[in-house]
Amino acid sequence: MTVEDSRIRLLVVDDEYTIRRLCMTVGGTLGYVCSEAESAETALAQGLASAPDIVLVDLRLPKLSGAELLRQIKSRLPSTEVVIMTGHGSIASAVEAMKLGAYDYIQKPFRVEELRLLLRRMEEKIRLVQENRVLRERVETDQQLDGIIGESSKIREVLQMIGRLKDTWTPVLIRGESGTGKELVARAIHYRGAFAKRPFVTVDCGALVPTLMESDLFGYTKGAFTGAAKSKMGLFQAADGGTIFLDEIGELPLELQAKLLRVLQEKEIRPVGSNTNISVQVRVVAATNRDLNAALRDGTFRKDLYYRLNVVSVFIPPLRERRSDIPMLVHCFLDRHAEGETIEVTPAAIKLLMHHDWPGNVRELENCISRALALGDHRCIDESDLAPALRNENDAPNVQLPTPMEDDAASTVALDDLERLTIQRVFEKVGGNKEKAGELLGISRATLYRKLKRYQIAASQLKEETTS
Ligand X SMILES: Nc1ncnc2c1ncn2[C@@H]1O[C@H](COP(=O)(O)OP(=O)(O)OP(=O)(O)O)[C@@H](O)[C@H]1O
Binding region for Mg ion (CB under 5 A): 183
∠ Cα 186 192 198 (to 5°): 80
User: DSSP for 264-279?
Assistant: HHHSEE--BT-SS-EE
Gap between the Cα atoms of 430 and 452, Å rounded: 15
Q: Which is nearer to Mg ion, 175 or 320 (CB)?
A: 175
CB of 332 to ligand X, least distance (A): 5
Q: Which residue, 253, 247, 251, 243, is CA-closest to 180?
A: 247
Q: Which is nearer to Mg ion, 206 or 431 (CB)?
A: 206
Q: Which is nearer to ligand X, 67 or 246 (CB)?
A: 246
Q: Which residue, 69, 66, 56, is CA-closest to 22?
A: 56
Q: Which is nearer to ligand X, 318 or 438 (CB)?
A: 318
Residue nearest to Mg ion (CB): 183
Q: Which residue, 377, 145, 383, 178, is CA-closest to 368?
A: 383
Per CB under 6 A, contacts with ligand X among 171-190 are 176, 178-184
Pairing of strands 380-381, 344-345: parallel
CB of 207 to ligand X, least distance (A): 11
| End-to-end C-alpha distance for the chain, whole angstroms | 38
CB of 288 to ligand X, least distance (A): 8
The binder of 251, among ligand X, Mg ion, none, by C-beta within 5 to 8 A per type, is: none
Number of residues that bind ligand X (CB under 6 A): 18
Gap between the Cα atoms of 35 and 43, Å rounded: 10
User: DSSP for 82-149?
Assistant: EEEEE-TT-HHHHHHHHHTT-SEEEESS--HHHHHHHHHHHHHHHHHHHHHHHHHHHHHHHHHTS---
Structural contact between residues 41 and 63, judged by C-beta atoms closer than 8 angstroms:
yes
Per CB under 6 A, contacts with ligand X among 253-312 are 289
CB of 180 to Mg ion, least distance (A): 9
Q: Which is nearer to Mg ion, 96 or 183 (CB)?
A: 183
Segment interacting with ligand X, rule: CB under 6 A, options 146-154, 350-358, 386-394, 402-410: 146-154
Pairing of strands 104-107, 278-279: unpaired
Q: Which is nearer to Mg ion, 183 or 393 (CB)?
A: 183
Q: Which is nearer to ligand X, 182 or 308 (CB)?
A: 182
| SS3 call for 357 | coil
The binder of 178, among Mg ion, ligand X, none, by C-beta within 5 to 8 A per type, is: ligand X
Site string for ligand X, 440-459 (x = CB under 6 A): --------------------
Site membership for ligand X, residue 324 (CB under 6 A): no
Site membership for ligand X, residue 366 (CB under 6 A): yes
Gap between the Cα atoms of 426 and 432, Å rounded: 8
The binder of 363, among Mg ion, ligand X, none, by C-beta within 5 to 8 A per type, is: ligand X
Name the site residues for ligand X (rule: CB under 6 A). Answer: 147-150, 176, 178-184, 289, 329, 332, 362-363, 366
